[in-house]
């Protein structure tokens, strides 16, 4: 074995790296941004390929017992279909409102960005999209999936890429949200604070509405971001749908703990819409 | 060792790390685990290359992993930290250099086995350094302290190393075919570097 003695320049590099471990983030973020842009030409097509491969549905053998389970599930879903159709009219109206809001709201513009890379090390779930400050993306801008589902927030920007912190990551922190009533009336919506659990869901306690009777939240109700920037309409991007409701024993103001699940899987998100304020002062959302 | 070939593979494997994650990830989001191709490349180079070049190669590959890793911070931003993986990779490469005389490197399982050992040796110091950074910056009252739970990250690092070791078997087999491009000179009978 040949064990060459490291030279002085190597030891200097090691000392510099040890020092760099404790350097302020902006210094290293600059280099990370440039490196990310360098790898985009290869990582972006690979990422696209990954999304395509992952999206290929699993083929089941006709004898597979899972197929029987799926057929039972189909029957159950058909039964629910009738119920859903009645709700569809309400949802269509809400969708129109959301789309209309997007069209008429002059304070934001939306640009579509492809997901081009992932954070390679550690446990963070952060990912990169292929548009950055050159396209006017500011830190704090919301990333939306299919135009209405909140995916995350821009947490770092380089000229040609931006890092998104997903809302499902615990690092995102608490989210102020509104549970929309089943008839879609915003005046009956219930305010709550949600915490990302880390498994792709959120949990939170529903606060008492002082002006109304305490409304019972139910499984299936939509939960939206409480977006004060949108003024009176107050229809922030969708966070998810209530998956379970556990009554709390404690007295008001807290009486229900809800679990909310987004309508997307983070691994399926290949493209996001970035919501960018038109205001010159920026500052995100 | 030909550094141009190394640079090409480093670029390729970095792109694999950041691009193929959605396909190879087990679990999703924060709980997702994906293999580290840069770690596999480091182990391969360390098991084949001349010692003096291995150190620099490990430093470069570790630095690439550092710069392609982002961590959320308490102020809602994202931070990149240069150093932890680079230093960890140097330690991992040193271990590989020490062990490579004891194993038959041409065997596909060897890269997997060495990845397991070198990965543990590389990732544990990296987690330690990032934890120290978190503690120090929290102590200084910095707002950009990274959100980092050492125990979670150690488990995640262990799973990453385990997964990387599995992926290293086929990847190592492919890399072994490229030894000529790298310019690694093997002992004709023992399979050891000259």
**Domain count along chain B:** 1
Quick one: fold of A172-261? Answer: Thrombin, subunit H (2.40.10)
Pairing of strands B78-79, A175-179: unpaired
B128: closest chain A residue by CA: A21
**Pick from A47, A165, A170: which is nearest to B78 by CB?**
A165
- Give the pLDDT confidence score for residue A262 in this predicted structure: 87
Q: Are A210 and A231 in contact (CB under 8 A)?
A: no
Residues of chain B with Cβ-Cβ distance to A50 below 8 Å are 19-24
- What pLDDT digit, counting tens, does each position of A85-143 carry? 777 767 766 665 565 555 556 677 888 898 888 877 666 778 889 888 888 899 888 89
Residues 265-284 of A with CB under 8 A from B: 265-267
Show Cβ contacts of residue A120 under 8 Å, excluding neighbours closer than 6 positions.
B14, B17, B18, B21, B36, B38, B65, B68, B69
To the nearest whole number, what is the mean pLDDT of chain A? 77
Q: Is B83 on the interface with A (CB under 8 A)?
A: yes
On the question of a cis peptide bond just before residue A253, with omega within 30 degrees of 0, the verdict is: yes
**What are the pLDDT digits (tens) for B2-60?**
899 999 999 999 988 888 887 888 877 677 888 999 999 999 999 988 888 999 999 99
Q: What is the pTM of this model?
A: 0.73
DSSP annotation string for A102-117: HHH-TTEEEEEEEEEE
Q: Per-residue pLDDT averaged across A176-197, rounded? A: 78
Q: How far B1 CA lies from chain A's nearest CA (Å)?
A: 14
Contacts of B169 (CB under 8 A, 6+ apart): B108, B109, B111, B112
> B64 lies in which domain range?
3-182
Segment A62-91, tens digit of pLDDT: 677 777 777 778 888 888 887 777 777 677
> CATH number of the domain that B42 lies in?
1.10.1760
Band (A211; pLDDT cuts 50, 70, 90): low
Q: Within a domain: residue B34?
A: yes
Domain extent listing, chain A: 24-53+106-167+269-279, 66-104, 172-261
Q: What is the ipTM of this complex?
A: 0.85
Say if the Cβ atoms of B153 and A122 lie within 8 Å.
Answer: yes
Domain-located, residue B193: no
CB contacts under 8 A, A 101-160 vs B, are 116-126, 128, 139-140, 153, 155-156
Written as one string, the DSSP assignment of B113-142 is: HHHHHHHHHHHHHHHHHHHHHHHHHHHTT-
In A56-177, alpha helices (H): 65-104
Confidence of residue A232 (pLDDT cuts 50, 70, 90): very low
For residue B88, tell me if it sits in a domain. Answer: yes
Q: Which fold has domain A24-53+106-167+269-279?
A: Thrombin, subunit H (2.40.10)
pLDDT for position A284 = 43
- Min mean pLDDT across A96-100, A156-160, A272-276 is at A96-100
pLDDT above 60 (res A252)? no
Å between A164 CA and nearest CA of chain B: 8
B90 occurs within a structural domain: yes
**Predicted confidence (pLDDT) at residue A186 exceeds the cutoff of 90:** no
CB contact under 8 A, B133 and A21: yes
The reply to whether residue B69 touches residue A155, judged by beta carbons under 8 angstroms, is no
Please calculate the CA angle B111-B116-B119 and round it to the nearest 5 degrees. Answer: 105
Report CB contact under 8 Å: B66, A14.
no
**A29 contacts in B (CB within 8 Å)?**
78-80
């Amino acid at each position: 074995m040949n064990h060459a003695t490291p030279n002085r320049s190597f030891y200097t590099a090691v000392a510099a790296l040890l020092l760099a471990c404790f350097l302020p983030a902006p210094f290293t973020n600059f280099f990370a941004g440039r490196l990310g842009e360098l790898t985009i030409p290869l990582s972006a097509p690979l990422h696209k390929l990954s999304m395509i491969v992952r999206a290929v549905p699993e083929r089941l053998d006709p004898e597979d017992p899972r197929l029987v389970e799926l057929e039972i599930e189909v029957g159950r879903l058909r039964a629910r279909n009738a119920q859903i159709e009645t709700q569809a009219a309400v949802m269509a109206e809400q969708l129109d409102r959301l789309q209309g809001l997007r069209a008429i709201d002059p304070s934001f513009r939306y640009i579509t960005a492809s997901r081009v890379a992932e954070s390679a090390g550690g446990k963070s779930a952060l990912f990169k999209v292929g548009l950055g400050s050159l396209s006017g993306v500011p830190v704090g801008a919301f990333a939306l999936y299919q135009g209405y589902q909140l995916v995350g927030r821009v947490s770092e920007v380089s000229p040609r890429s931006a890092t998104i912190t997903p809302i499902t990551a615990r690092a995102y922190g608490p989210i102020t949200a509104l549970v929309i009533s089943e008839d879609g009336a915003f005046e009956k919506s219930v305010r709550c604070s949600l915490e990302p659990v880390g498994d792709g869901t959120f949990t939170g306690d529903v606060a008492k509405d002082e002006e109304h009777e305490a409304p019972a939240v139910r499984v299936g109700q939509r939960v939206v971001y409480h977006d004060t920037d949108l003024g009176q309409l107050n229809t922030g991007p969708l966070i998810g749908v209530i998956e379970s409701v556990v009554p709390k024993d404690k007295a008001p103001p807290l009486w229900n703990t809800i679990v909310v699940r987004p309508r997307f899987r983070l691994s399926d998100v290949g493209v996001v819409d970035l919501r960018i304020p038109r205001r010159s002062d920026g500052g995100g959302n | 060792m030909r550094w141009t070939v190394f640079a090409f593979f480093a670029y390729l494997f970095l792109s694999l790390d950041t691009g193929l994650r959605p396909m190879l990830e087990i679990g999703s989001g924060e709980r997702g685990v994906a293999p580290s191709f840069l770690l596999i490349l480091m182990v391969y180079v360390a098991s084949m290359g001349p010692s003096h070049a291995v150190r620099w190669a490990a430093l470069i590959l570790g630095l690439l992993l550092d710069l392609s890793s982002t961590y959320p911070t308490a102020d809602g931003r994202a931070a990149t930290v240069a150093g932890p993986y680079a230093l960890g990779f140097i330690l991992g490469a040193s271990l590989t250099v020490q062990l490579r005389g004891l194993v038959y490197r041409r065997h596909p399982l060897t890269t997997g086995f060495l990845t397991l050992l070198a990965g543990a040796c590389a990732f544990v110091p990296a987690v330690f350094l990032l934890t120290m950074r978190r503690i120090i910056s929290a102590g200084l009252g910095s707002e950009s302290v990274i959100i980092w739970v050492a125990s979670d990250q150690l488990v995640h690092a262990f799973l990453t190393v385990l997964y990387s070791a599995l992926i290293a078997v086929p990847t190592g087999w492919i890399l072994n075919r490229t030894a000529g491009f790298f310019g690694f000179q093997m002992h004709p009978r023992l399979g050891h570097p000259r």
